[in-house]
Amino acid sequence: MVDVLDKLQILGEGAKYDVCASTAAKSNKIINPAIGSTSPSGICHSFTPDGRCVSLFKVLLTNYCEKDCAYCPNRTDRDVPRSRFTADELVKVFMEFYRRNYVEGLFLSSGIFHSTAATMDEIIKVAEILRYQHKFGGYIHLKVLPGAGAAEIQAAAAVADRISLNMEAPSALHLARLSRTKEFNSEILGTMAKIGAHVGQFNNVSHTTQYIVGAAEESDQDILTSANSLYNRYSLKRAYFSAFQPVDKTPLAQETATPLIRENRLYQSDFLLRLYGFHLGDFVFDSRGNLDSELDPKLAYALNHPDLFPLNVNTASYHQLLKVPGIGPRSASRIVAARRSHRFNDPRELKNTGAVLKRALSFLTINGQFFGDRKLLEKPRRQAYQQLTLWGDERDFSAKLITG
Ligand code: SF4
């Protein structure tokens, strides 16, 4: 049992760097807790396709790896304790946790041990034993390894609710800065194409990816261009962004950590791409291709387009309304629905739609009248932003990914 606990310690810890499933924050309230500590054994939380929040057993099959990704704690020549589960061992541990109600689902990732094919087979075997021998009907997320074949991808998709292949970097040039052993076009993009081709054959299976942000001198524009291409070409469900954090005993150990605000701006932009009808050309990048860290991307768009605003709230289309700061998909739908029987005459009527008036009113006219700051769009962008922030709730801009 000690052996299994050691493996759990090593392989649960090793899995925490993958954010393709959202991870619960570690509690620091009690040092060395005897019970209730989930982080060492890798229990995290994620959302299933039907929106339920489930606790996941997030673990590596092995932290041995033949690749040399410069940011990775599992890279081949890093001097750390190594371990691996057999499929049977891992299933036994998972079922034990499941029966005790510690977890409801599995997120299984891995380093590459011996070969991609051999490791993929073992990953798939874990899920097949759970599904076919234990009749486990809960959530399973399987990592697809770089260079996986079509048959392995099909087998994984047949038993998983979600599969994911990490892009890590947006292009071959950027990946080459991080690894001498990972090949972008064949192992990453080629595998992504196979996933895109096969995942649609299976009901209720989606695929996601992750980028390490700031490790390869890539810009925000590079990352968003890559993610946008995956959405359009390979039916990617969602991209995750992980701000680079230097890891001890790796080639990037002395590099500076990427500020979390950069990760946050990428998530905001990604939401705009996927849910708000934004196009790549709508984002405001600086001369180096990066988003403004002080300005959320939707507000940056609106302030950068004084020619498009203010919009008439009684005639603007759903898609036009979505571009208004303070209006999200739900409030835009409610405005459009309400207009079928009603004409908006007063800002207070908009409150019922869920629109954030503090921001929206400077970008709308209501029954021919303007209720915002007439000079706002003529002001320098940062000054306008500060004004909106002072009027509004600072948390609306910083804590939430997208508020409207
Ligand atoms: S392939 Fe790269 S990122 Fe994945 S475990 Fe191995 S070294 Fe780490």
Cβ of 75 below 6 Å from ligand 1: yes
- End-to-end CA gap in the chain: 51
Cβ of 67 below 6 Å from ligand 1: yes
Q: Which two tokens stand for residue 373?
A: 């700051």
Nearest CA to ligand 1 atom 4: 111
Cβ of 242 below 6 Å from ligand 1: no
Q: What is the pLDDT of residues 256-270, one digit of tens each?
A: 999 999 999 999 999
Ligand 1 centre from 90 Cα, in Å?
Answer: 20
Q: What is the pLDDT of residues 288-341, one digit of tens each?
A: 999 999 889 999 999 899 899 999 999 999 999 999 999 999 999 999 999 999
User: Would you state the torsion angle of the CA atoms of residues 62, 129, 164, 121, taken in this order, to the nearest 10 degrees?
Assistant: 60
Cβ of 109 below 6 Å from ligand 1: no
pLDDT of amino acid 13: 77
pLDDT of amino acid 228: 98
- Structural domains in the chain plus CATH codes: 2-277 (3.20.20.70), 297-398 (no CATH)
pLDDT band at residue 401 under the 50/70/90 scheme:
very low
Ligand 1 centre from 182 Cα, in Å?
Answer: 9
pLDDT band at residue 386 under the 50/70/90 scheme:
low
Mean pLDDT, the chain, integer? 87
Cβ of 156 below 6 Å from ligand 1: no
Q: What is the pLDDT of residues 267-291, one digit of tens each?
A: 999 999 999 999 999 999 999 999 9
Q: Read off the DSSP letter of residue 173.
A: H
pLDDT of amino acid 377: 62
Residue 389 has pLDDT above 60, yes or no: no
pLDDT of amino acid 40: 45
pLDDT of amino acid 6: 83
- Report the candidate in 151, 129, 124, 127 with the shortest Cα–Cα distance to residue 140: 127
Number of the ligand 1 atom closest to the C-alpha atom of 65: 6
Residue 25 has pLDDT above 60, yes or no: no
Nearest CA to ligand 1 atom 5: 111
Nearest CA to ligand 1 atom 7: 75
Q: In what order do the strands lie in the sheet with 43-47?
A: 43-47, 53-60, 105-109, 139-143, 162-164, 206-213, 238-243
